[in-house]
Amino acid sequence: MGKYFILVLAADMKRLSFMSMYDHSFVLRWVMSIDAAEKLAKVERFEFALVHFDPDPHRAMEFCESLKRIQPQTQVIYFKSPDVPLPENFCADLVLDSNTNEAELASHLQNYIKRTA
């Protein structure tokens, strides 16, 4: 199995270990701003984008829509708290609890890959 590239847009996602995720076949690229994420997405291909939804849901939605225009094939995953509601027409392909750990995330991603293969 090859490596899958993940764009991580969230300052607090540092709890994800690069090496641990790499061992599960996922390569993480962190960015701290939407602007940086959009620039990177224009030059590199990503299978997934992890976005922390809670701090600014409106900006998370804008980024998701922007990323889908740049890389329509990229699967956007929102990390959010259970008490934060999603709007009706949210853009994400998958929504996970913000407390999801690395092993659970890797499992969700691998299952998603199998379902869409």
% of the chain beyond a pLDDT of 70: 95
- Of the pLDDT bands very low, low, confident and very high (cuts 50, 70, 90), residue 27 is very high
Is a pLDDT exceeding 70 seen at residue 12?
no
For Cα atoms 94, 100, 12, give the angle at the middle one, nearest 5 degrees.
Answer: 95
Domain range for 29 is: 4-116
Give the mean model confidence (pLDDT) for residues 10-16.
67
How many folded domains does the chain comprise?
1
The tens digit of pLDDT for each residue in 64-88 reads 999 999 999 999 999 898 898 888 8
pLDDT for the residue 78: 92
pLDDT for the residue 15: 67
- At 39, which CATH number? 3.40.50.2300
